[in-house]
Amino acid sequence: NSIWVSTDHDEIEKVAKQFGAQVHRRSPKVSQDSSTSLEAIREFLNHHHEVDIVGNIQATSPCLHPSDLIKVADLIQKEGFDSVFSVVRRHQFRWSEVKKGENKMTEPQNLNPAKRYRRQDWPGELYENGSFYFARRHLIEKGYLQGGKMAYYEMRAEHSVDIDIDIDWPIAEQRVLSFGYFGKEPLKEVKLFICSVDGCLTNGRIYVTEDQKEMVSYDYRDIVGINLLKKRGIQVRFISERDCSKTLSAIQLGCIAEVKATNKLQVLEDWQKDMGLNWKEIAYLGNEESDVECLKKAGMSGVPADACTVAQKAAGYICKSNGGCGAVREFAEHIF
């Protein structure tokens, strides 16, 4: 009946409200590094007596789909379960731990080595994956997220993502891009790709010779990426705050460009109207504060790894490559 974000952070509150969620401001008491989810939920219930069932969705599991939550809510509301939690099936053989200095051997925990079978032929075991915990109010007030008439909900392996440590981030990122939920509307096919020249197509550096001629460098991989976009029928255009027409002419990309653009968003809106495109059909790669509004408008947005902080916050995708070092090619592959 209601969607809440529990936080003590101003920026998280702002974003949550932008997406239509209500916000519960956590007290300092339950906002410590050692605070548990259960403590935060119990505090929330103390302020919301109208709530009978809580579905605690963990932010560290970003591949959760609404269809799973609907089925879990039905288990509680229609089938009478008191608590439901998420699990995933794993095919891993477990052995007992032998600590350093102990004079004993390891023992198998869930297999018989004399009758060892292939893991893919074994049904596996169910493990909590931390994606969500649903429970009735009376259980939570007693200090439980699991109890009473319990049920587990088995999630698909590709949707089971749990971010615990730093190395989990790149794995989670790729899972979300491949299996994540992107809303009810189908993704629009990109028809226009707009790239900021300085800092995206080039590395933003300008080299000046002794006779005062300017030179810039670019990465050939980015040219390949632009050609791939054009082969797929995506129109490519460039935009720049400075007059870099000679640079673009020298690279011979044959693309429309707007240079000396004092208002990039206005240029973007003019192109969008002239081509009759939906914003979701436009992809934008920028790297500076002047690109922020364009990044927010475009259906797909990206920045190089070395983009400024405000641009990174506005973008939907942050490349691993720096500007002028393959970021255009990488973003092109992201679009595909």
At 7, which amino acid appears? T
Q: 205 phi and psi, to 5 degrees?
A: -90, 140
Q: 116, 119, 156, 242: which one is catalytic? A: 116
DSSP per residue over 288-332, as a string?
SGGGHHHHHHSSEEEE-TT--HHHHHH-SEE-SSPTTTTHHHHHH
Inter-residue contact 303 to 195 (CB < 8 Å): no
Inter-residue contact 75 to 81 (CB < 8 Å): yes
Give the Cα separation of 31 and 171 in Å (integer): 28
DSSP per residue over 108-170, as a string?
BSS--GGG---GGGS--EEEEEEEEEEEEHHHHHTT-SS-SSEEEEEPPGGG-----STTHHH
Task: Give the tokens for residue 44.
Answer: 């929330």
DSSP per residue over 68-96, as a string?
HHHHHHHHHHTT--SEEEEEEEE----B-
CA dihedral 325, 326, 331, 336 (to 10 degrees): 180
CA torsion sign for 313, 314, 318, 323 is negative
26 catalytically annotated: no
Neighbouring-strand partners of residue 24: 6
What's the chain's Rg over C-alpha atoms?
26
Give the Cα separation of 42 and 164 in Å (integer): 23
Q: Which residues are catalytic?
A: 116
